[in-house]
A = this chain, B = another copy of it.
Amino acid sequence: MKRYEELSEMLATDIRNGHLAAGSRLPSIRTLTRQHGVSPSTAFAAYYRLEEKGLVRARERSGYYVAGLGRHRLAEPVQTQPRRVPAQVDISELVFAVLGAAQQDDIVPFGSAFPSPDLFPLPRLARSLAAGARQTRPQDTVAGLTQGHPALRQQIALRYLRLGMAQSPDDLVVTHGALEALNLCLSAVAQPGDLIAVESPGFYAGLQALERLQMKALEIPVDPKEGIDLAALAQALKRHPIKACWFMTSFQNPMGASMDEARKRALVALLAQHGVPLIEDDVYGELYFGQRAPLPAKAFDTQGLVMHCSSFSKTLAPGYRIGWVSPGRFGQRIERLKLMTTLSASVPAQMALADYLQHGGYDRHLRRLRHALEAQQDSLLLAIARHFPAGVKVSRPAGGYFLWVEFAAGFDTLRLHREALAQGISLAPGPIFSAHRDFRHCVRLNYGHPWRPELEAAMATLGRLVQQQG
């Protein structure tokens, strides 16, 4: 056994027997070198080996941490197999019933769509609100509002530039959250009766938009590791008159699936070949756990067919309701629809975010937020491993704050949802993520909240409810 293997095995034992607790920080490379009299490269090799085994996770600029044992032994779901027929969408009532029931203030928020607002820098944002208000001229409140304030569009364009994407502020349209952007994009490219390709499972608000606009859904298989099945999409494009696609390409809601850059490039090429627009919902892209921000599919768009939608609602300031779209060739249509429906985004919120993005330390905040979410994912995985039956499958997103849990076939998460609610616990049952109301044996869990004993206790309660049904 080589020196690094010995070291790695020793640490693995400490992790498995609990001497090193899940989520705790491991010694730095320098400390390890000093303590064990090994070279830095040996210390690195030991940690790499532990990482391969899933016992340790590296975090950018922060060192190595003990991973939840859960992630080690929990299996992942396989690619979904949705019904390959277009569906009339009739899901809203179910979604409202499920979400409405979970509206109490003191509920355990595993069903929530947002991370904890305690993770956001509200006091710093309040300072930016005041600064932005001071910079607002009277004419800023009435003139040329629809596209969004130039200072904010400039700052958003700079965020694209950090990804290596040239994005003119002149093309961006600021919206009332990403939800408005996505709805405007859909109205801009499709009519009642048209067929829209969505992910299976996919974001319920997308399905609700189709229902509201009387469009039909075609569900495309999703692999929890790789995202949209491109072969299946290619086949669907041949067989059906798909008018547009509404996909989440990074840390997809609800599975957490992400397409890698090669797949995103291939997706854009495939859609360009068919002349089909892509509504790209990218609200979680900034919440990556790796070393590097994932590029959106928009980065590979040469035809202006990709409408890239995002917002600050999941990363910084949920209640501000500021999102945007980089609309490709559909800019005028989207702007006009916006002018007719909501006129413009709220000026104080725009001015505040323009100031914050320039002076507030957004990247520092994002780093902290990513580390917090990653640690919370470990905690939830560990709790799943501890409290749920051995056979459950769990996705392992490399970003965002949602896990997708698959129980045995026949398990009923709508029932689990009702029973959990009675115990003061919310969760998001699978059927709200499918036009066919499939995925009844699956559930989406939110790990966007700092781990605390109440969450652990709630997972134990859920575990009991699962066993009872079992």
Contact = CB atoms under 8 A, between A and B. Distances in A.
B117 A142 contact: yes
Interface stretch (A79-87, A291-299, A315-323): A315-323
The number of chain A residues touching the other chain, given as a range, is 35 or more
Contacts of A339: 96
A319 B176 contact: no
B130 A342 contact: no
A125 interface: yes
A133 interface: yes
Interface string A305-321: 00000000000011111
Interface of A is mostly: helix
Interface stretch (A165-173, A251-259, A344-352, A412-420): A344-352
Given A96-B336, A349-B348, A342 B176 contact: yes
A11 interface: no
Interface in A87-128: 92, 96, 103, 105, 112, 114, 116-118, 120, 122, 125-126
A303 interface: no
A340 B139 CA distance: 31
B319 A212 contact: no
- Which of A120, A143, A348 is the most central at the interface, judged by chain B CB atoms within 10 Å of its CB? A348
B130 A180 contact: no
Contacts of A214: 192
Given A126-B133, A130-B129, A341-B183, A176 B138 contact: no
A143 to B, nearest CB: 6
Contacts of A352: 348
A96 B336 CA distance: 8
A112 to B, nearest CB: 8
A118 B138 CA distance: 6
Interface in A150-183: 176-177, 179-180, 183
B120 A138 contact: yes
A346 B343 contact: no
Given A130-B130, A336-B96, A349-B349, A343 B140 contact: no
A103 B144 contact: yes
A321 B346 contact: yes
A347 B134 CA distance: 19
A126 B130 CA distance: 7
A319 B120 contact: no
Given A141-B317, A321-B344, A347-B321, A336 B105 contact: no
A208 interface: yes
Given A321-B347, A346-B176, A346-B349, A117 B133 contact: no
A41 interface: no
A18 to B, nearest CB: 34
Which 5 residue pairs spanning A and B have beta carbons closest together?
Answer: A319-B347, A141-B319, A346-B346, A126-B133, A117-B138
Interface of A: 92, 96, 103, 105, 112, 114, 116-118, 120, 122, 125-126, 129-130, 133-134, 136, 138-145, 176-177, 179-180, 183, 187, 192, 205, 208-209, 212, 214, 317-322, 336-337, 339-349, 352
20 contacts: A96-B336, A117-B141, A118-B138, A125-B133, A126-B134, A129-B130, A129-B133, A129-B348, A142-B319, A145-B319, A179-B341, A208-B340, A319-B347, A320-B346, A320-B348, A321-B342, A321-B343, A322-B346, A348-B349, A348-B352
